[in-house]
Amino acid sequence: MKTEYIALLMLMGLVVITALGMLVGSHFLSARRPTKVKSTPYESGIPVLGGTRERFSVKFYLVAMLFIVFDIETVFMIPWGVSFRQLGLFGLIEMLVFVLILLVGFIYVWKRGALEWD
């Protein structure tokens, strides 16, 4: 029983040594030629427009939270779709209630103007 643990510890040690070796090797073998262009921020090919301390609009966070809420529904819908035949009519009714609640929430958010960016 101890031989299995020894083999596992040896494997873990080999992994740690390999990872550390790669990190140390890349640190010493890499060429460093810092330039002004390399040290400037770069985001998807678009030049930086402002400072890094700008505040985001509250609308940004609101849309992000709404995305998460309406994206979580897939976490519930995928398992339901997998076991649709086993759940029968009860599962269908429960999912219809779930989708109806989401639809009411979406209409409420839409009417309140949470999806408008102007």
pLDDT tens column, 38-80: 777 776 767 667 676 777 777 788 888 888 888 888 888 889 8
Task: Answer yes or no: is 87 within a domain.
Answer: yes
- Rounded Cα gap, residues 111 and 118, in angstroms: 15
46 forms beta bridges with 43
Q: Report whether 117 contacts 59 (CB < 8 A).
A: yes
pTM of the model: 0.50
80 vs 77: CA distance, rounded Å: 5
For residue 41, is it within any domain? yes
pLDDT band with cut points at 50, 70 and 90 for residue 11? very high
Show the domain range for 90.
2-111
Q: Would residue 11 count as lying in a domain? A: yes
Sign of the dihedral defined by the CA atoms of residues 21, 24, 26, 30, in that order: negative
State the total domains in the chain: 1
Looking at residue 1, what is its pLDDT? 63
Tell me how far apart the alpha carbons of residues 99 and 93 are, in angstroms, rounded to a whole number.
10
Confirm whether 53 is domain-assigned.
yes
Which residue type does 56 have?
Answer: F
Report pLDDT for 70.
Answer: 83
Query: Is pLDDT larger for residue 10 or for residue 43?
Result: 10
Residue 117, domain member (yes or no): no
Q: What is the CATH number of the domain that holds 104?
A: 1.20.58
